[in-house]
Amino acid sequence: MSEDKIKKNELDLLSSAINRIISSEVLEKSMSDQLPLTDNLSDSNKIYHGKVSVLFVDMRESTKLPEKFSGIQLVKIYRSYIRTVVQAIRYSGGVVRDFMGDGVLAVFVDNEEGKSEDKSVRAARYITTAIDKFLNPLLEQGMKHRISCGIGIHTGEISISKVGMKGKEQQDDAESEFGIAWIGNSTNMACKYSGAVDNGTIFISTSTYSALSDIAEKQKWESIELSKGGNVLGGYIAKQYYLSLDIDTNIEPCPAGKSNIILNLADELKREYLKQMADIERKAEEFGKREQSMQDKERQLNKKATEINQKVKENIDKERSIIEQEYQFYCEVLGSGHCKEAYVKEMGKEFWENNLNKALLAGHKIGKSEYEIKQEVSYAMVSIYEDLELYDKAYEFLVEQAEGYPWLHLFTVQNIVKKIGYCDRLKSALYSRLVKDDLSAENREKFEEIKNWLVFDYEN
């Protein structure tokens, strides 16, 4: 075989095949209630088109397994995992159409057995149940290992066509290499949804969720948006959503561990915070260098004092603008914690109080008093300290909010006051605020309601 030349007969064969494909008309046919098999498809420009639900399941951190286990152990892990997944798909009315490493791609169509959406979700629950209740207990006992996987499902239109090459000239025993090309974004979307979750969490697209038949079961899904690789994926998730077992024995699940979904979102926010902090510090450093340069020029060019003074003033204005941006940034960071309990707890008390102190410093530089600053962020700090269960500190900012912020919620007041057992300063703040008459009619009514609850209903 020549290493550096393609033979003429091979070029003729390739040219003929390409010309035949390019020049032939593409014939489209609707899919029936069964997916066509590869062997039943002709090697031609004939495609099948229709609606399907695509499921993709992928094992997490599989690239690290060779570092922990021997080749014999890896064979057992992979074969038992793939066998479990394939059975779950097959016995839920789906067909496996591709293996990608430890990833498995399955397709479901509408037929007399049911809707593709219902069958694909059942298969996902079957996979989670079988792995956590049967496979993981055995792997944990024998190898101290548990499998974690993410499952994604998307429903949409797709086209399929046979691709590849038949045999080889003059070699009757040469293997034909054919497969199916999946044309459309449904497979890609299912892979993205799978990659955004782990630990047996099922992530389905809105198109799949909206077509589910069981209305009661829909209540078990949580609407969510996840950030993955710069893209935002919207849909619905269910965690440890197991099928029941047709046996008398109760089997406790053995999941791989705690889901990282919320932590991943917190990491995204933390990275964005650090990025913006670096940008502010860079601008501050650049301003410092410019200011020094202006001072040097002022000493050297006394005759241009007026011009230099004007430039100094401009730089002072720029510095104030930067500090105002810095102050606004810290206020927005604190505001991002409002009503986000999981995010607040993940970032921790030190993070929030550090940003509060930086907001106070930046605010002082632009002429704001501590009283004004605390009132501006009071609503956020009440929510943050309440989520951190630091109710005494939450109460301090609750008083600030009552004294100067436009709104206040009764349920927040009730929760905090009941936790700490006192409310005198809050009542005084409410009386003073109602005398000011600076509230809208709607908010004034809510402040009156809170005051009446403290005076007449609350029992110390």
Listed as own residue / partner, the contacts of 173-179 with beta carbons closer than 8 Å and 24 or more positions apart are 178/38, 178/43, 179/38
In angstroms, the CA 76 to CA 453 distance is 65
Q: Tokens in use for 220?
A: 């078990």
Q: Tokens in use for 307?
A: 């011009």
Q: Is 149 left (phi over 0), alpha (psi -120 to 50) or beta?
A: beta
Task: With beta carbons less than 8 A apart as the criterion, state whether 196 and 226 touch.
Answer: yes
In angstroms, the CA 169 to CA 345 distance is 67
In angstroms, the CA 254 to CA 269 distance is 31
Type of residue numbered 130: A
Report CA-CA distances (Å) from 32 to 20, 52, 109, 449: 28, 11, 9, 63
pTM reported for the whole predicted model:
0.52
- Which distant-in-sequence residues (6+ apart) come within 8 Å of 243 by Cβ? 122, 125, 126, 129
Tens of pLDDT along 409-444?
999 999 999 999 999 999 999 999 999 888 899 999
In angstroms, the CA 381 to CA 356 distance is 9
First to last CA, the chain: 94
| pLDDT attached to residue 171 | 55
In angstroms, the CA 55 to CA 25 distance is 31
H/E run at residue 100? strand 95-100
| Environment class of 222 (CB within 10 Å of its CB; exposed 0-12, middle 13-18, buried 19+) | exposed
In angstroms, the CA 197 to CA 260 distance is 8
Q: Tokens in use for 129?
A: 């149940």
Indicate the SS3 state at residue 372: helix
| pLDDT attached to residue 436 | 87
Instruction: State the DSSP string of 161-227.
Output: EEEEE--BTTBTTPPPEEEEEEESSHHHHHHHHHHT--TT-EEE-HHHHHT-S-HHHHTT-EEEEEE
Residues facing residue 100 across a β-bridge: 103
| pLDDT attached to residue 262 | 43
H/E run at residue 319? helix 305-335
| pLDDT attached to residue 101 | 83
* Torsion angles phi and psi, residue 440, rounded to 5: -70, 165
H/E run at residue 276? helix 261-300
Q: pLDDT per position in the chain (460 positions), as tens?
A: 556 777 667 666 767 666 665 655 545 555 555 566 555 555 655 667 788 999 999 988 887 888 888 888 888 888 999 999 999 999 999 998 888 888 899 999 988 889 999 999 999 999 999 889 988 899 888 888 888 899 999 999 988 777 767 655 555 555 556 666 677 788 889 899 988 888 889 999 999 999 998 887 888 899 888 876 667 888 999 988 998 888 877 888 888 775 454 445 555 555 666 677 677 777 777 777 777 777 777 777 767 666 666 675 676 778 888 888 989 998 998 888 888 888 889 999 999 999 999 999 998 998 999 999 998 999 989 999 999 999 999 999 999 999 989 999 999 999 999 999 999 999 999 999 999 888 899 999 999 999 999 988 886 5
Closest-CA residue to 151 (of 181, 120, 180):
120
* Torsion angles phi and psi, residue 348, rounded to 5: 90, 160
Distance of CA 110 to the CA centre of its chain: 30
DSSP, res 158? E
Q: Which CATH number fits domain 26-246: 3.90.45.10, 1.10.645.10, 3.30.70.1230, 3.90.420.10?
A: 3.30.70.1230
Closest-CA residue to 66 (of 57, 58, 75):
75
| pLDDT attached to residue 119 | 94
Distance of CA 99 to the CA centre of its chain: 25
Q: Tokens in use for 325?
A: 């941006």
| pLDDT attached to residue 56 | 95
